[in-house]
Amino acid sequence: MSLSKAKIALVFDWMTNPGGAEKVNLLLHKMFPEAPIFTSIFNPKKLKGFENAAITTSFIQHLPFSKTKHQLYLNWMPYAYELFDLSSFDIVISSSHSCAKGIITKPETLHICYCHTPMRYAWDNWHSYIREYKMNPILKSIGKKRIHKLRMWDRVSADRVDYYIANSNTTKKRIEKYYSRQSTVIYPMIKASDYKIAKKTKGYFLAVGRLIPYKKFDLIVETFNKIGLPLKIAGTGMMETELRRQAKGNIEFLGYVPDKELENLYSECEALIFPQIEDFGIIPLEAMAAGRPVIALKEGGALDTVVEGKTGIFFEQQTPAHLKKGIEEYQKTKKKFNPEKIREYAKKFDESQFKKNLLSYLKEKWKHWQKTTS
């Protein structure tokens, strides 16, 4: 049976807010429009592009605040995904940074997981998640105890996947470390044609993303408070009120910014500030597609996308002093950054390349799977 004739299902983690994983999920839906989608929670008001999709949600969908505070139900997610009946499908593709990979398939079904990362809050980042996230102390205490069981389930459920795709070399190492499994790296994508190079920049630096602890917007605000350079922040999140209170007049909060406006913000900025440790990080590529360099922490997915001295500058540690040093280095050398060359580099990550790589991988694994299971 050819891949085109196989019955395919897609399984996603909660579909409640736009982000990097959601962009991959939307492209998977476009590549396989007939494939039904299974997910724990879906908020159609926040996530566009799935209007014609056949979406099956879990029982969590109907619980209080689930569409806005999915974190309340993390302890129930494993059970929710194990309840999905996927017995009628030939191939299941899970796109997972949490529990989606934990679905149960029959032996004849090929399960391929596009892994954005093993659960951050269960493995390498769990101490900082408990420490940094603002929540009721009682809930924190309960969370510390329950995360142990979630971690055990995550490890056991990892063996239900037949093949792993990692979204970066950082994720590849995590999969090997925590799941003892090998994976193939297929980078996420951007739609390069959506971005243009501006005739002239407008002198401000830019930071984009959800305003949550691990994204390190507090580090950005602290640094720009000290250096006084103009900064625009595009995004919303639980830290917004606190960050606005801390910020000085040189920092402007834009809140939620539609894609078209964000494209202009990228093209007219001096450089993108990217201080977090990401599994991959699509935002730097979006800035580069608009011809702008990135000032990034030298860790995580940025190592797969930023080329030192050509498409951006690295700084070594998540401290104001190191970020300041990176900004100063950019200011000294900014004339050497060529917007056209930066954009050409970003085109290597265009969605056309992602589709080509993924389809080639799926065809190869499906062909091999049929030979070994027949």
Q: What digits encode the pLDDT tens for the residues 114-147?
A: 999 999 776 665 555 555 555 555 555 555 667 8
Range 290-308 burial, b when 16+ CB lie within 10 A, else e: bbbbbbbbbbbbbbbbbee
Q: Which residue has the tokens 């090929």?
A: 110
Alpha-carbon span 264 to 271, nearest angstrom: 13
Alpha-carbon span 164 to 172, nearest angstrom: 9
Give the E-state strand segments of the chain in sequence order: 8-12, 37-39, 55-57, 91-96, 110-115, 163-166, 183-185, 205-208, 231-234, 251-255, 272-274, 294-297, 312-315
Q: Which residue has the tokens 């939307």?
A: 26
The 8-class DSSP code of residue 308 comes to: B
Q: Which residue has the tokens 């619980």?
A: 63
What amino acid occupies position 191? K
Q: What global pTM score does this model have?
A: 0.87
The 8-class DSSP code of residue 100 comes to: G
The pair of three-digit structure tokens given for residue 124, joined into one six-digit string = 């390498």
- Return per-residue pLDDT of the chain as tens, 374 residues: 999 999 999 999 999 988 889 999 999 999 999 999 999 999 999 899 999 999 999 999 999 999 988 888 989 999 999 999 999 999 999 999 999 999 999 999 999 999 999 997 766 655 555 555 555 555 555 556 678 888 899 999 999 999 999 999 999 999 999 999 999 999 999 999 999 999 999 999 999 999 999 899 999 999 999 999 999 999 999 899 999 999 999 999 999 999 899 999 999 999 999 999 999 989 999 999 999 999 999 999 999 999 999 999 999 999 999 999 999 999 999 999 999 999 999 999 999 999 999 999 999 999 999 999 87
| Domains defined for the chain, CATH in brackets | 3-189+350-373 (3.40.50.2000), 192-349 (3.40.50.2000)
Give the model's pLDDT for residue 71. 83
**Secondary element (H or E) of residue 192:** none
Give the model's pLDDT for residue 17. 86
